Each structure stands twice: as C-alpha cells, then as structure tokens.
Amino acid sequence: MRAAPPGISVVLPARDEGDRAGATIASALDAAAGPDGVEFVVVDDCSAPERRPSVTDAAARRRTTVVRSDRHLGVGAARNLAARHARGRVLFVTDAHTRFSDGWDRAAERLLAPGRILSVTILDSSSAWRGHGCRLIVPYMGTRWNTTVPDPAPHDRQVQVASSAGTVVERALFTRLGGYDEGMVHYGGFEPEFSVRAWRAGAEIVHTADIEITHRFKPKEEVASFVGAARTAMVHNCLRFGTAHLPESMILEMVRLHALEFPDHIREALVMLEERGAWRRREELAATLPHGFAWFVRRFDLRDQIGRPVPED
C-alpha cells in the first residue's frame, strides 16, 4: 500500500549551508506534533562541494528530497524549484539556518484557510529581537520589519509583506500566484514582490504569533561581503518590483533614489531591467490581477517613505 502524501512540505533553498540544513530539518522534526506528515525539499543552489547541504540523520533523510542545481538559481527560483518537487498540500517556506517552535505543523494546518497566507513570527538567534512580518517602503521598494505584535483583531493581524523565513501557503495557491518572480535575480526583493502580488490577486497575508522561527541572521562582517557581492542584483530587483507595481509617476523617482545611493550599480541594473522584460511583466500583471496597486495603497493607507500620499496613477 502506498504511503499517504505528506500534509506539509518544508521548502529550503540552500547555498553553501553545509550541516546547517540538517540541523534545521532536525529541529522541524523534533518540534512537529505529527512528524510523519512532514517532508522536506532542499534545493542545493550550486553550493561549493564542501558546503553542500548535509542531512546525516537516517530518519530525516527518509523525509528529505535534495534537488541539486549546477547553476546559481537565486532565492526565488530555488524556492520555486523546491515547490515543484513538493507533494504536501501546504508549503512552509523558510531558510536552511532556522529553528522551529513546538507544534508548528498543527498550528499551520489550523490557521490556514483558502486564500490565506501565514506570516510567522521571526526570532533572532543571538538577541531578543522579534519580527512580525514587514511593511513596504515606497518608492524605494524595500521593507522594514514590524517589531511590535499586531493587535489580535483579525483585520489588524493582516500584514503587507510576509516574513521571508516563515511564509506558509497552500501549494495550490502558491502555484496559482505563479510563485516567486524569476525575472528577479539571486537575492533581494522576492518576498515583498510576492506579497504585493498575492494581495493584488485577492489573497490575504495574516501574521501569527503561534508559530515562531528562530533565524540565524548573518553577523555584520558577513553582511558587508554578501551584500557587496549582491548589490547590483538587489538594485535591479527593487527596480523590477517597482516597475511591476508602482504608479508610473513614481517609477522615475524610484530610479533616481537608487541612482543617488548606488551610482556604481545603477547602469548595469537598468540594462538588466530592460533585458528581463520588466515593462512586459507590468502589462501582464495589470491584465490578470483583479486589484491594482492603488487598491493595495488604499487597503493599508500606504504613504511614501517621507509620509506623502501615494498617487494612484
């Protein structure tokens, strides 16, 4: 008799994570109320041979599929690839350097509803900091963490942007939304773009304090090196995000902000923007999503980063 498919697929992109991936899987299994209903899909995103994701525990290996890529996919494409290999009804999208709170799987199944995406609470492994989803910064197209617990009222628990290391979504909804935007590259901007697109598609994103993910944030010395190498990609991704969603009157201001802050990266980022069909993407979303960005602005009473009203066109 064939085994029943898992209820939850934990999606883990992993680049040079080594044994941290195995420790993440062990944490999820130990904390799960029903570990037999959980599988793990790890995408090895072109890791160096000595830093490939490693799962040494035999029980964990039986529940884990490792998909290897010989080219660097980046966060969004790696997550999408993992989702295509997943069998669970529910996707739990996280990172390969996290720890799970007790009963996380039962809470996810209890709190999910049709058209709902969960944004879980994120803890810092080295401090008392907590993040409760994010809010969008326009026209820069970055995010800031919500660091206060949302009011328990249903409307107030809705957040603009799901937590990057803790997004829970039905696989069918993830597929219908198109997953993460693979027109973006490598790192940065995937989660806010997915979240805004989900809202515009008619889904809702709800924060929960019933699931906590403890995340290993990079130390400062690692951040400087990592962000320096990824900067052009990050600038491009912000520009693509804004081109897809912002009112046209704000796009030039977005470009100007990035040009002033990152003059050594803006030219290449703009070339990439054109080559990767950003304006075509904008037209596709406008033609297929039931809500415009103006609806999102009204829904959250969004202001720009210095407090001005956001124009609707």
Distance CA(13)–CA(115), nearest Å, equals 24
Confidence of residue 225 (pLDDT cuts 50, 70, 90): confident
Q: If you average pLDDT over residues 108-137, what whole number do you get?
A: 96
Q: What is the pLDDT of residues 78-114, one digit of tens each?
A: 999 999 999 999 999 999 999 999 999 999 999 999 9
| pLDDT(281) > 80 | yes
Instruction: Note the CATH number of domain 1-104.
Output: 3.90.550.10
Strand-pair category, 64-69 with 38-45: parallel
Compute φ and ψ for 25, nearest 5 degrees. Answer: -65, -40
Q: If you average pLDDT over residues 7-27, what whole number do you get?
A: 96
pLDDT confidence of residue 25: 97
Domain ranges of the chain: 1-104, 112-166+178-313
Cα within 13 Å of Cα(15), Cβ side: 16
Q: Which residue has the tokens 């199944």?
A: 109
Q: What is the pLDDT of residues 159-174, one digit of tens each?
A: 999 998 999 999 999 9
Q: If you average pLDDT over residues 136-148, what whole number do you get?
A: 96
Confidence of residue 155 (pLDDT cuts 50, 70, 90): low
Yes or no: say if 170 and 145 are a contact pair by the CB < 8 Å rule.
no
| pLDDT(1) > 70 | no
Q: Is 195 left (phi over 0), alpha (psi -120 to 50) or beta?
A: alpha
* Cβ-based neighbours of 11, under 8 Å, separated by 6 or more: 41, 79, 82, 83, 86, 91, 92, 93, 94
| pLDDT(151) > 80 | no
Confidence of residue 5 (pLDDT cuts 50, 70, 90): confident
pLDDT confidence of residue 220: 82
Q: If you average pLDDT over residues 268-286, what whole number do you get?
A: 98
Q: If you average pLDDT over residues 245-255, what whole number do you get?
A: 96
pLDDT confidence of residue 162: 98
Distance CA(126)–CA(98), nearest Å, equals 12
Judged by average pLDDT, the poorest of 1-5, 125-129, 208-212 is 1-5
How high does pLDDT run on average in the chain?
A: 95
- Would you say the C-alpha torsion 7, 79, 81, 237 has a positive or negative sign? positive
pLDDT confidence of residue 75: 95
Confidence of residue 156 (pLDDT cuts 50, 70, 90): low
Distance CA(78)–CA(83), nearest Å, equals 9
Q: Which residue has the tokens 């949302």?
A: 150
What percent of the chain shows pLDDT beyond 90? 87
Q: If you average pLDDT over residues 191-219, what whole number do you get?
A: 96
| pLDDT(153) > 90 | no
Closest CA to 158 of 134, 179, 180: 134
What percent of the chain shows pLDDT beyond 70? 98
